[in-house]
Amino acid sequence: MTKRIFRSICLAALGVAAAAVVLFLLVLYDYFGGVQQQQLQMQTELAAQAVTNEGITYFDGLNSEQYRITWVAADGKVIYDNRSDSAAMENHLEREEIRAALLTGEGKSSRYSDTLMERALYAAKRLPDGSVIRLSVSQHTLLTLFLGMLQPICFIIIIAGVLSLVLASRLAKKIVEPLNALDLEQPLSNEGYDELSPLLHRIDSQQRQIKRQSEELAQKQKEFETVTENMTEGIILLNTKGEVIGINRAALRLFGADTAALGQHMLAINRSPQITELLAAAAAGRHAEKMLDIAGGRYQLILSPVNSGNVPSGAVLLVIDATEKEKAEQMRREFTANVSHELKTPLHTIAGSAELLANNMVKEADKMAFYQRIQAETQRMIRLVEDIIRLSHLDEGADDIKREPVDLLALAAETVKTLQPAAAKAQVSLTLAGEAAVIEGIPPLLQSIVYNLCDNAIKYNRAGGSVAVSVTRANGTVRLSVADTGIGIPAEYQERIFERFYRVDQSRSKELGGTGLGLAIVKHAARLHGAEIELKSAANAGATVTVIFPV
């Protein structure tokens, strides 16, 4: 801007200087032309007077270098000329000034020379005898005047140029100074040109609008970040080139990336074929889903294209941890297979025995044994089905079951009482000790915990062994402990015995009427009470299972 103002001022100043010089020359030329013409006329008057009085003798000894004097007869023939030979001169009757003088008594004219460098001024006067005396003087033309004055003109132009350069530079700076000093942060506080006022008001209103909009944007961004940062699912925003323009903490953690991932291509973060296929889908504006194994987990990747109008503007990649889901799926499959397998054996036994009996193929003496086997297998199936039903209830969450204050000691006493006959049969002493301890719980589930633990302690015991049940309170917890002197559980099986249908010794468990679901039910029921299970055992050294309930 300064440059433009500077240039304009310079041009204007130079233009004015040039115009002034031209006008000055014109006025000067016109003025001196007029003066010269007057002088010429006066001289012509004088010469006419002299020639009238003295005749041709006037010209003798006349020394006139400045003027050309010509005496022309009334018929146009040149009688005398002080510059040329009059005899050789052509007839002057057609000359403008001569003709005018012959007609009116006086005449004047001017003519340019061939080079245009000079102009001749003529003045003529008729003498009383009808002849005409003509004087002529040469005058420089405007061009000659200009060329003659070129040096001073150049000098003036140079001075004017330098002056205008200096002034223009100062002026330009001065004009721009208030503009440079504008405080655009507070446009209305500026004092300067009135002409800027509408602009400053406009800037002020736009600034307020921008501030409001950026505040709204920041708020939305913050809300978005708060939501996405606290999500357990990973979220990645991609642009049309497949570059990451947004990524939440969960996604960073999953892909083992850091914040430098922002701006990188998605393939730089994960090169798997699934990601490549998802990016291809994003480029085609398609929704796509893939499963991907990352760091020992299984993840579901859901890609949704984002369009603004009809133009694709990127994609959102959602990463959902499907490890648990997958595990649950696997467990369900195994459970179904196990259940069918567990039910098949007793059913086959029952069906086989029943068929033999129906076809009368069993000796009378053996019939009782067949009936007892059918009964035992049916009992086993009933227990199995009951356990499955109990487990599936627990699987559904059992959240709706009412919790109530339960005295664990009283509840254990009841169960111990029910199991006394079984203990006696196995020649195992079953005792209960401890103090009353009330917890908030679900009585049937607590009962299955005590029942299953005591049942195992009796089943996997030896004749003459013992089972000691105790309920104690310690450090804000209630501990239910079942200790036996039985066969014990080798360390390598201790993790697995809580799995469904897992048994250390298949045949022994089945022989003793075990379903393989007892400890799974205990684990599940304990979890629903927020309780922890502790197992201390070794092969042939008995086992102590403790369930620790929070109060």
Nearer to ligand ADP, 108 or 500 (CB): 500
Helix (H, G, I), strand (E, B) or coil at 125: strand
- Dihedral sign computed on CA atoms, order 398, 400, 401, 404: positive
Identify the residue among 124, 381, 430, 487 touching ligand ADP (CB under 6 A): 487
Strand partners, 298: 293
Strand partners, 124: 107, 134
518 binds ligand ADP (CB under 6 A): yes
Nearer to ligand ADP, 303 or 522 (CB): 522
Contact segment (CB under 6 A) with ligand ADP among 34-42, 50-58, 234-242, 501-509 equals 501-509
Q: Which residues in 433-462 contact ligand ADP (CB under 6 A)?
A: 452, 456-457, 460
- From residue 288, alpha-carbon distances to 126, 201, 241, 307 in Å are 118, 51, 17, 15
Which residue in the block uniquely carries the two structure tokens 């009809």?
A: 310
Strand partners, 234: 319
346 binds ligand ADP (CB under 6 A): no
Nearer to ligand ADP, 234 or 518 (CB): 518
495 binds ligand ADP (CB under 6 A): no
CA dist., res. 535 & res. 528, Å (int) = 19
Nearer to ligand ADP, 157 or 343 (CB): 343
Within a 10 A sphere around the Cβ of 186, how many other Cβ atoms? Answer: 11
388 binds ligand ADP (CB under 6 A): no
Burial 75-99, CB ≥16 within 10 A → b, else e: ebbbbbbbeeeeeebeebeebebbb
Nearer to ligand ADP, 447 or 515 (CB): 515
CA dist., res. 290 & res. 430, Å (int) = 56
Residue 122: closest CA among 52, 50, 47? 47
Q: Which two tokens stand for residue 496?
A: 């697995």
CA dist., res. 249 & res. 231, Å (int) = 8
> Which amino acid type is present at position 133?
I
Identify the residue among 78, 470, 516, 529 touching ligand ADP (CB under 6 A): 516
505 binds ligand ADP (CB under 6 A): yes
Residues 30, 145 contacting (CB under 8 angstroms): no
Provide, rounded to whole angstroms, the least separation between the CB of residue 334 and ligand ADP: 15
Identify the residue among 388, 514, 526, 546 touching ligand ADP (CB under 6 A): 514
Contact segment (CB under 6 A) with ligand ADP among 15-23, 30-38, 423-431, 507-515 equals 507-515
Nearer to ligand ADP, 370 or 498 (CB): 498
Identify the residue among 408, 469, 489, 547 touching ligand ADP (CB under 6 A): 489
503 binds ligand ADP (CB under 6 A): yes
Contact segment (CB under 6 A) with ligand ADP among 26-34, 237-245, 286-294, 500-508 equals 500-508
Provide, rounded to whole angstroms, the least separation between the CB of residue 539 and ligand ADP: 9
Contact segment (CB under 6 A) with ligand ADP among 202-210, 246-254, 327-335, 511-519 equals 511-519
486 binds ligand ADP (CB under 6 A): yes
262 binds ligand ADP (CB under 6 A): no
Helix (H, G, I), strand (E, B) or coil at 374: helix
Q: Is 14 exposed, middle or buried (0-12, 13-18, 19+ CB in 10 A)?
A: middle
Residues 240, 313 contacting (CB under 8 angstroms): yes
Identify the residue among 51, 275, 450, 543 touching ligand ADP (CB under 6 A): 543
Contact segment (CB under 6 A) with ligand ADP among 31-39, 361-369, 388-396, 509-517 equals 509-517
Nearer to ligand ADP, 407 or 499 (CB): 499
CA dist., res. 535 & res. 338, Å (int) = 25
534 binds ligand ADP (CB under 6 A): no
Nearer to ligand ADP, 65 or 492 (CB): 492
Contact segment (CB under 6 A) with ligand ADP among 363-371, 414-422, 428-436, 503-511 equals 503-511
Contact segment (CB under 6 A) with ligand ADP among 32-40, 242-250, 262-270, 502-510 equals 502-510
Within a 10 A sphere around the Cβ of 164, how many other Cβ atoms? Answer: 21
Q: Which two tokens stand for residue 84?
A: 């040329």
Strands (E), 45-117: 68-72, 78-81, 106-112
- From residue 201, alpha-carbon distances to 175, 191, 195, 375, 453 in Å are 21, 12, 11, 98, 84
- Binding residues for ligand ADP, rule: CB under 6 A, are 452, 456-457, 460, 484, 486-489, 497, 502-505, 509, 514-520, 543
